[in-house]
Amino acid sequence: DAEDSDAEKIAAAYESDYATYPGFCIAKDVPVAGQQDFQLMDVQNRLFRELTGIEDPYAVSYQPEISMIRDVQINENGQYQHVETDPIIDDSIVLHPTVSYKLKTEKDGIWYCSLNNNLQKTLDEQKPLSLARLTSLVEDEERAMYNFGTDFQVQQFVQSIGYVEAGQTIEVKVGFLSETEVDYRITLYQIDEDVFKRGYEILTRNPFTVTEFADSRLTGTVHADEDSLLYLSIPYDKGWKAEVDGAPAEIQPVLDAMTGIPLKAGDHTVKLRFIPRGLIAGVIVSTGALAGYIWLIVMQNRRRKGEKVKETAHADA
């Protein structure tokens, strides 16, 4: 915990019981291509499902109900909510046009708020970017608040609400700038700890243990119970080169995002090194240019020496 001069707690650090390894073995048939999911938390659920094989989502979605509307007209209420806001009389007042949502929880757990802004429609119709603020409260106590400002162009945003006890009420307030229109969607997610624990146990059965690490290379060991795909928490880049037990190995993208290396069953030593794309070609070109420059200087020196010899011979004559 961190404390200020009045000995009041102003921050806290917690150790996670579910720390993961930098890599682990997963099923070898995980899709290479990704998929455009509607919400960021849905992306997390899909990744969890593909890596663990567990069909149950670890982040369960809930739709809160509108509890308060201030200076906002809701024209549509479907997949997205389309709202129009009235102008604020005094722009110095921080009371933005607002829509509030509430949900009473049924069990203890960790919660998140997901905001999905229909940004493409906003840009296509040349509407002003109008989301101003997202605030999450539990039992009227503020847990999180984010000011988007006037240049909000993030299509999706996830806000951590934290631990909420059963029976408590979560309230989410969405504030807008004045005289604007916006299409958006609010969804609450609760982490299913039982499902999460099952997935964690699966992912930590065959971990990748790092034995050597540097800026551009990585070495580690791993045991695969069967033919598997080594999933690494390294963004996929063609600049990475891999060796498994001293032999060159294939590197493939996992869900269009992370790095995967196919492995046979057994114990393996995996080495990775990063060579930026174009580096070798650049070195060759640079070396060739340098060699050409040196050759040019040598030839110019020889020519000058030859001219001096001719001038000396002519003077002697």
250-294: pLDDT as tens digits: 999 988 888 999 999 999 999 999 987 654 444 455 555 555 556
Residues 78 and 185 in one domain: yes
Whether 223 and 163 map to the same domain: the answer is no
pLDDT at residue number 248: 96
| Parent domain of 232 | 22-30+206-304
71, part of any domain: yes
Domain's final residue, options 191, 219, 252: 191
Q: Are residues 153 and 75 in the same domain?
A: yes
Looking at the fold, whether 144 and 68 belong to one and the same domain comes out as: yes
Higher pLDDT, 246 or 36: 246
- The burial class, CB within 10 Å (0-12 / 13-18 / 19+), for 4 is exposed
Residue 302 pLDDT more than 80?
Answer: no
Q: Is residue 309 part of a domain?
A: no
Domain shared by 219 and 266, yes or no: yes
Tell whether the model's pLDDT for residue 225 goes beyond 90: yes
B/e letters for 73-101, b = 16+ CB within 10 Å, e = fewer, are eeeeeeeebbbbbeebeeeeeeebbbbbb
Q: What is the pLDDT of residue 37?
A: 57
Asked, for residue 316, whether it belongs to a domain, the answer is no
* Least confident among 55-69, 99-113, 148-162: 148-162
Compute the distance between CA of residue 153 and CA of residue 119 in angstroms, rounded to an integer: 7
Same domain, 65 and 158: yes
Q: How confident is the model at residue 39 (pLDDT cuts 50, 70, 90)?
A: confident
Are 275 and 227 within one domain?
yes
CA distance 28 to 231: 10
Cβ count near 169 (within 10 Å): 15
Query: What CA–CA distance (Å, rounded) separates 283 from 67?
Result: 64
Domain for residue 92, yes or no?
Answer: yes
pLDDT band at 30 (very low <50, low <70, confident <90, very high): confident
CATH number, position 176: 2.60.120.260
The span from the CA of 285 to the CA of 131, in Å, is 50
Rounded CA gap, 248 and 244, in Å? 6
Residue written as tokens 């309230």?
Answer: 171
Is 174 among the domain residues? yes
The pLDDT of residue 89? 46
CA torsion through residues 238, 241, 247, 252, sign: negative
Is residue 278 one of the residues assigned to a domain? yes
The C-alpha atoms of residue 49 and residue 54 are separated, in whole angstroms, by 5
Strands 252-254 and 258-263 come out as antiparallel
Among 77-81, 166-170, 174-178, 221-225, the minimum mean pLDDT is found in 77-81
Is residue 44, in this structure, part of any structural domain at all? Answer: no
With vertex at residue 183, the alpha carbon angle to CA 181 and CA 184, rounded to the nearest 5 degrees, is: 130
Strands 98-104 and 169-176: antiparallel
Which residue, chain included where needed, has tokens 């040019």? 296
In this prediction, residue 182 carries a pLDDT of 75
Q: Strand 169-176 relative to strand 217-224: parallel, antiparallel, unpaired?
A: unpaired
Q: Give the whole-angstrom CA distance, residue 46 versus residue 30.
A: 11
The answer on 96 and 214 residing in a single domain is: no
**Confidence bin at 20 (pLDDT 50/70/90):** confident
Check whether residue 115 and residue 88 sit in a common domain.
Answer: yes
Q: In one letter, which amino acid is 31?
A: P
- List the single range of 31-45, 87-101, 126-140 with lowest mean pLDDT: 87-101
Angle between helices 193-203 and 40-52 (to 10 degrees): 50
The token duo for 295 is 């050759």
Is the predicted pLDDT of residue 87 greater than 90, yes or no?
Answer: no
Counting the structural domains of the chain, the total is: 2
Across 5-19, 128-142, 197-211, least confident range: 5-19
C-alpha closest to that of 26 among 263, 212, 309: 263
Last residue of a domain, one of 143, 159, 191: 191
Predicted local confidence at residue 4, as pLDDT: 45
CATH of the domain at 256: 2.60.40
Domain end position, chosen among 160, 191, 222: 191
Residue 229 is predicted with a pLDDT of: 95
Based on the fold, state whether residues 125 and 151 are members of the same structural domain.
yes
105 and 228 assigned to the same domain: no
Residue 14, domain member (yes or no) = no
Least confident of 158-172, 187-201, 213-227, 290-304: 290-304
Give the tokens for residue 57. Answer: 């989502």
Supply the pLDDT for residue 283: 47
Same domain, 142 and 252: no
Q: Which residues pair with 187 in a beta bridge?
A: 114
Res 199 pLDDT > 80: yes
Cβ partners under 8 Å of residue 185, min gap 6:
39, 79, 80, 81, 115, 116, 118
Q: Which residue has the higher pLDDT, 219 or 13?
A: 219
Look at 45 and 276; give whichever has higher pLDDT.
45
- pLDDT score for 278: 54
